[in-house]
Structures are given as structure tokens and as C-alpha cells.
Amino acid sequence: MVKLFKAVIIILILAVALTGVCQAKSLSFICENKQDFPTIMGNDSKILDGKPGMGVELLRLLEEKLGLEITVKRLPWKRCLHELEKGNVDGLFTASYKDKRKKHGKYPEKDGTVDPSRRFTAASYAFYKLKSTDLDFAGKDYGIFTGKVGGPLGYSIVEDLKKKGVKMKESNSTEIDLKHLIAGRLQAVAALELTGDYYLTANKQFSDKIEKMTPLIVEKPYYFMLSHQFYDANPDLAEKIFDAIAEIREDPDFKNKLADYLK
């Protein structure tokens, strides 16, 4: 009877351990449902076939590297942060670092502070204006923006520019902001440089009338985040994920995929 009892206990322990492994190997990530070139492509709730975006490309390589199965869903940005905070998803991509976002999820850290070496990418923000205007941004004089400046809803750059006294008008996408700029509803647009440049390249109406201002506003590292719930339950795997993201970022195959997006 004692031997049988011990055997049952061992089986139960193994079952719990195996269950934990299965749970840890199946992950869910979330990202916003508007295009953020080249991280996520398409203004839709679906993940595109062919070229879904470099964030999805990284997750596919992460699956191979760590033996994971990862699903991705798309929602509005603020809802993404809410789902991460509640632990309804395991991870989110991508987010710049903000102290107040630490309540939503876990950044890669080293010695208690965010670790830029384990970023996904670094992205620059730039102002865009109508070619017909004489705005001249010298890098410090934000007082030249006397009208409204468009910016992506929920993005950290909006808050940063508000602190500098810029009147910001948030919208659901940079594409909408550029249309509002042409319509005369905005004085300028603040956008991720890759995103703004993409729209100017892809849309002749934009490129004929709009140009990028220099110098750049700022360059920021962007991260994949993990939910606190996932990190607490799987700290070793979580750290492996953060490490693997940095490794994949520098992998030649990954860089070749990025080059395809930028052609």
C-alpha cells in the first residue's frame, strides 16, 4: 500500500510538471491592429500572409529557436496593454520604455533597470510637414508649432511632445494624420520615421505634397514585453525569450528578411 501511495504521488508530480511544460510551450502574443511598418503590416485584425511584419517574423524564428508554439492576435493599442496587464496574453510587441507601463507587463531588465541590449529594435521619430510651408525645426525650438500636430494614439511620443508645449491631436494611424495634414487640419505630423517614410514612398499624393523635417525628434529602443503572470510562472523561459530576441535581432537571416520589407 505504501509503495502504491508513493507511485501515485510520483505520477501526480510528473503530471503537474508536464502540464507546466505544455503551458509554457504554448504562448499568446498581442499587437495593435494598425500598421506599424515594418513591425506589423496591414490595418486589420488579421495577421497578413506573405509579409506580416518583422515582429511576426521574429516570433516565428523564436518558435524554432526555443521550441514554442506562438499565436498572435491584434487589438487597439490601449486594449493590448489592458490584455497584457490582466494576463490574458503572455506577451506584447512592441513598446518603448515608460515607467507607467511597468504595471502592464515586464520589460527585459538588467540589475533592476530596463536592458536596451535586449531590445527588439530602435526606432526614430520625425516631423512631417507640407512642402508649401516654411516650418524649420532646428531640434530644440518646439515653439514653431503653433497649430496642432498629429500623432499616433497612445504612443509615448505624443506625451513627450505635450510636455514640450506642442498641441497634439491623436488619431488611429499615421496615414490618417498625413491625410489631415494635406487637408489643412494639422500643421505637422509626428510619426515613426520608418512608418512616415513608408507612406511617402507608397503614396504619390503624400510624396508630392509632404516632406520629412530634420533633424529627427528622438530615437527610442522598442521592446517585446511579457505579462507579469507569465514571467512569475516561467522566469527561466521568460529570460530565455528576452535573450533570444536580442540574438535573433542580430541574425543575418533576420536582417535579410528586413531588407525584403525595405525594398
Indicate the domain borders of the chain: 26-120+223-262, 121-219
With 70 as the cut, is the pLDDT of residue 234 above it?
A: yes
Q: Residues with Cβ < 8 Å from 153, sequence gap 6 or more?
A: 77, 78, 170, 171, 172
Instruction: Give the C-alpha separation, 4 to 8, whole Å.
Output: 6
Between 14 and 171, where is the model more confident? 171
**DSSP 8-state class, residue 209:** H
pLDDT of residue 155: 86
Two domains, one topology: 26-120+223-262 and 121-219: yes
The least confident of 1-10, 31-40, 123-132, 142-151 is 1-10
Q: What is the pLDDT of residues 99-145, one digit of tens each?
A: 999 999 999 999 999 999 999 999 899 999 999 999 999 888 999 99
Provide the whole-model pTM.
Answer: 0.69
Residue 194 — very low, low, confident or very high, per pLDDT cuts 50/70/90?
confident
Residues above pLDDT 90, as percent of the chain: 75
- List the CATH code of the domain at 26-120+223-262: 3.40.190.10
Of the candidates 70, 39, 27, the one whose C-alpha atom is nearest the C-alpha of residue 152 is: 39
> If one looks up domain 121-219 in CATH, what number appears?
3.40.190.10
CA separation for the pair 159, 161 (Å, rounded): 6
Burial 232-252 (b: 16+ CB within 10 A, else e): eebeebbeebbbbbeebbeee
CB 118 within 8 A of CB 242: yes
